[in-house]
Homo-oligomer: A and B are copies of this chain.
């Protein structure tokens, strides 16, 4: 799948300066792969640093063709359309990219792999939000581990649970702590190359999927479990499987300063 030297193109579909561009924003901020350019129709001609105050400064182009000419190899769908569905105009862009030989990273619930049965050698479609195989039920086995397990929780969605976890992970590694970041969402999985897309897992298997991942990381002195959802949002059901699957020894509560009411869906 994704190799460390493959050059990414982040397609923002006009969300580069909006909250819905958060997948692309996180790739800009944290991916270790080289990033060739971004694509955003409404901002072509500018560069990412004209629009964002983080990440590398790369050009914002107007089309997949331009991105390929610039050396892009892997198209990352960098935005989250409302409801998780891919509108036809976005699919048309992916069609173009696949036709010219690009690989594709798709973090949305709607999968693309079956759309492209005839890929070239080395070309791939990575639908990150696929339920893993061979999941079972959880049985609080993580409680028997001797390591520290810090679960990131948040008062709202999109309040920095992943970002805080990644920052703690990096800081721990710098201190020679044998730390691991256990991704539970599409962005974290893209950045670290492993993990589980918790929100795409059926309720029956949610705790078991978390437990399996935490058990497999049992050698890490500090396992940082990426959180999902919110401890108080009525639309979020991730907190319970995360708690039960990881049996955390520590919780890190993320809150946006000044936030007094739920802000997001």
Q: Which of A196-220 contact B (CB under 8 A)?
A: 198-204, 206-208, 211
Judged by a CB distance under 8 angstroms, whether A234 is at the interface is yes
Judged by a CB distance under 8 angstroms, whether A72 is at the interface is no
| A240 / chain B contacts, CB cutoff of 8 Å | 237, 239-240
Contacts A239-B240, A240-B240; A234 near B201 (Cβ below 8 A)? no
Tell me how many chains of this kind the complex includes: 2
Write the residues of chain A forming the contact surface with B, with a CB cutoff of 8 angstroms.
Answer: 83-84, 109, 131, 136-140, 198-204, 206-208, 211, 228, 234-241, 244-245, 247, 265
Which of B138, B228, B237 is in CB contact (< 8 Å) with A235?
A: B138
| A83 / chain B contacts, CB cutoff of 8 Å | 136
Q: Which of A136, A204, A239, A247 has the most CB of B within 10 A?
A: A204
Give Cα A240 to B237, complex, Å: 6
A36 → B minimal CB distance (Å): 31
Q: Assess the A235–B202 pair: CB atoms within 8 A.
A: no
| A236 / chain B contacts, CB cutoff of 8 Å | 207, 244
Which of B84, B109, B203 is in CB contact (< 8 Å) with A237?
A: B203
| A200 / chain B contacts, CB cutoff of 8 Å | 202-204
Q: Assess the B235–A244 pair: CB atoms within 8 A.
A: yes
Contacts A139-B265, A265-B137, A265-B139; A238 near B109 (Cβ below 8 A)? no
Q: Assess the B237–A206 pair: CB atoms within 8 A.
A: yes
A236 → B minimal CB distance (Å): 7
Which of B203, B208, B239, B245 is in CB contact (< 8 Å) with A201?
A: B203
| A245 / chain B contacts, CB cutoff of 8 Å | 234
10 tightest Cβ-Cβ pairs between the two chains A and B: A140-B234, A199-B204, A137-B235, A237-B241, A240-B240, A138-B235, A206-B237, A234-B244, A237-B240, A199-B203
A202 → B minimal CB distance (Å): 5
Give Cα A198 to B109, complex, Å: 18
A211 → B minimal CB distance (Å): 8
